[in-house]
Amino acid sequence: MPNRDTNAAWHYHNGTKHPGGDLMNLLHRFDPMRPPTPFKTYTDLESIPLPLDLADRGISALDAISAEAPQTEASVDIEALTRVLHFSAGITKTISRPQGEMAFRAAACTGALYHIELYVVCGNVPGLEAGVYQFDPKEAALKRLRAGDYRRSLVELSGNEPGVAAASAVLVYTDVFWRNACKYQAREYRHAFWDSGTIISNTLAIAAAQGIVASVVSGFVDDSVNRLLDLDTAREVALALVPLGHGNEAPQGIPVENTPLRLKTAPISHYERHFQAIGEIHADSSLTSTDEVASWRGAPVPSEPPSPVGMLFPLEPDTPDVAPDDPIERIIVRRGSTRRFARESITFRQLSTAIDRATRGVPADFLDAPGLSLNQPYLIVNDVDGLPSGTYVYHRDLQAVELLTEGNFRDEAGHLGLDQTLAADASVNLILMSDLKAVLKHLGNRGYRAAQLDASITAGRLYLAAYAQGFGATGLTFYDDAVTNFFSPHASGKSVMFLVALGRRGRKR
């Protein structure tokens, strides 16, 4: 089984490192004036307009991202589904640029290239017939690919995962390779999970705000899910499932082996290049049977963080009665990726609140208990009132950060963040790092997907927690091995999955 040969994951991970990964071409150039279109357009399918209601539901962003919203097990209807889709991946603002109008989405995306597509597989829900649909954010509409209830297919293909079996609807997140690889080459497959994860963080939050149960399913039979969505797998593949709600009708028994539809779509670019490394790591991390999926899900990764030896600073998060209470809908619309930080401080209470709310665990099939994670947060603190400048590691079990080295590391932060001023100017750089050796041992190459996804969902929550408290955030790329070396010996053997810079937003020059 290819998934168990973890040399593939190491080959891809090491080959896409900055600087000098041997799967990267230093001569590659991206033309920002001629990017691929960020929308998938079916040329022969009718649009089903969605009834978008943007009204706040009264649940704060901080409660929504931390699963503190009331769990009412609300049902999914077309209005609720529309809100989930819009606040996950819909268009929230537009600006004019030299190359034309730029539509920004609800969640952050590397290079604003928007390579993640959303599909819906549902039974009959109020206002929408059972079927397989694509979400079209440009038209705020659905396109029906297949009529009928195909949820039973996803139940089988996910190895009878309980959340999928109970769901009224299942969202499927896919990656259109070229939209992001046009700029980032083979490293695109990392971004596939970074960018689907930040979207999923929105999905989980907006579902929670409506009392809809949701979870993340990373284990499924890849080829069959791709066939269900009629994907051209040389260009687009499924990444993750998010089941929503509890269905009133049991999933029906339409066969898993679906006939190809060969639906016509408009070209996304005047030319397209394929990166062999992307196709190889996807194939080598794919699961090929329901038995393999069930076995994969039954191999949890042990989590035994080392005991702290440095000074501990317990988190001091806002209590619910004083925490900012702006609703999640408003924060998602307000959120952006900060393009300039002022060298000003945030408070330890604000940082504590962001970390506390963002790291309470992801409801995912690759984690076997609430509150666990495949990543550990490390911090470079440049300017936080109430916390000495220096490097830290966060211990979830103790709800505290451990001081590793005290000192001013702004210059080092800037270098580690791919020599970007943003990393040097930020109040804090929070780096999510994974023990890939342990993850791959238990989960195979699929664990590489899971570790990236786990980190990016946490990062997406950090984005929202920052904007909920009135400061900014942005995701940054990094010099992989230099970050590990910087935090060693504590981080020895760990790999960087995501870097988020947090701080006060600076004025545009």
Q: d(Cα 130, Cα 122) in Å, to the nearest integer?
A: 5
The predicted pLDDT at position 508 comes to 66
pLDDT confidence of residue 252: 63
Ordered domains of the chain (ranges, CATH): 2-297 (3.40.109.10), 312-503 (3.40.109.10)
Q: What is the pTM of this model?
A: 0.96
What is the pLDDT tens value at each position of the chain, 509 positions in all? 689 999 999 999 999 999 999 999 988 999 988 899 999 999 999 999 999 888 898 999 999 999 765 666 778 999 999 999 999 999 998 887 766 678 899 999 999 999 999 999 999 999 999 999 999 999 999 999 999 999 999 999 999 999 999 999 999 999 999 999 999 999 999 999 999 999 999 999 999 999 999 999 999 999 999 999 999 999 999 999 999 998 666 676 666 666 789 899 999 999 899 999 999 999 999 999 999 999 998 777 877 677 899 999 999 999 988 999 999 999 999 988 889 999 999 999 999 999 999 999 899 999 987 778 999 999 999 999 999 999 999 999 999 999 999 999 999 999 999 999 999 999 999 999 999 999 999 999 999 999 999 999 999 999 999 999 999 999 999 999 999 999 999 999 999 999 999 999 987 65
- Stretch (H or E) spanning 434: strand 428-434
Give pLDDT, residue 250: 61
Closest CA to 273 of 38, 477, 28: 28
257 burial level (CB within 10 Å; 0-12, 13-18, 19+): exposed
pLDDT of residue 148: 92
Q: Which residues contact 2 (CB under 8 A, 6 or more apart)?
A: 8, 283, 284, 285, 286, 445
For residue 320, the model assigns a pLDDT of 85
How far apart, in whole angstroms, are the C-alpha atoms of residue 25 and residue 188? 13
Q: How far is CA 64 from CA 165, 379, 461, in A?
A: 24, 24, 10
Number of residues in the chain: 509
Cβ pair 160, 170 in contact under 8 A: no
As beta bridge partners, residue 364 has: 216
Residue of 315, 311, 323 lying closest to 359 (CA atoms): 315
